[in-house]
Copies of this chain bind each other. A is one copy, B any other.
Amino acid sequence: MSRMGMSSNDHQPKQQKPSLSRERVVAAAIAILDGEGENALTFRALAKSLSTGSGAIYWHVADKRTLLAAATEHVLSEAIAQSGRGTHPADAVRDVALGVFDVIEAHPWVGTELAREPWQPAMTTLFEKISAGFDAMGVPRSALFYCGSALVQYLLGFAAQAAAAARHDFQSQDRTEVLTTLVARWTQGEPADYPYVHLLADELRSHDEREAFLAGLDLILAGARNLQG
């Protein structure tokens, strides 16, 4: 018990690089996806950021699809596992959906991945939770499946849209202008034929994303409540 101090650290070992592991690979992939965008994730870039060869990565993950799924699972599973609180069942369902909303806002590439591969393991946990919520809300057994599916689809649609928006913003910064140009191109100089689209464009410029998400969610919840007993 003598030996105070940092004797174990005295002669610091030469900066030895930590060995690879599946977790480190996934963590590095997430860092690239978050920091440089979806297109920046290549096995070469990943190998460089891990100071290794591109072939080494294949020892820890089967292929790129698996890597993307693992990255998605990593950021999604915890959020979903911890969500679902709320005094009323409908609040619990809202809380689960908002958990996914927040993850996608923070990591838009998760939206892309969910839109391509909806049934990640974490989404199964999500389905379980929201089904339990609908059940507690009094939705009849026979309609549980429809309600759960509808909510998941609403979520996936939001994921797709958010991811596409993030991709576009990534390369042309000016969100408002992009939108105006887009609507103008759509309506091709006949704005009178597309009054609602122009309303959409105005709302898109001013709306609060989270609020709109919740409003859509509430439509489904109201529809589900409508099915009670």
Chain A positions within 8 Å of B, measured between CB atoms, are: 112, 114-119, 121, 124, 127-128, 131-132, 135, 143-150, 152-161, 164, 182-183, 185-187, 193-197, 199-200, 203, 207, 212, 215-216, 218-224, 226
Contact = CB atoms under 8 A, between A and B. Distances in A.
A133 to B, nearest CB: 10
A150 B220 contact: yes
Contacts of A226: 219, 222-223, 226
Contact of A146 (B145, B157, B193, B216): B216
Taken together, the copies of this chain in the complex come to 2
Residue of A124, A147, A159 with most partner-chain B CB within 10 A: A124
A115 B164 CA distance: 9
A177 to B, nearest CB: 15
B196 A128 contact: yes
Which 5 A-B residue pairings sit nearest by Cβ, starting from the closest?
A153-B157, A219-B223, A150-B216, A131-B196, A156-B157
Contacts of A143: 215
A120 to B, nearest CB: 9
A interface: dominant SS: helix
A145 B212 contact: yes
B116 A194 contact: no
A79 to B, nearest CB: 17
Contact of A149 (B132, B149, B212): B212
Given A127-B196, A147-B219, A223-B218, A158 B153 contact: yes
B115 A216 contact: no
B212 A219 contact: no
A158 B121 CA distance: 18
A224 to B, nearest CB: 6
A131 B186 contact: no
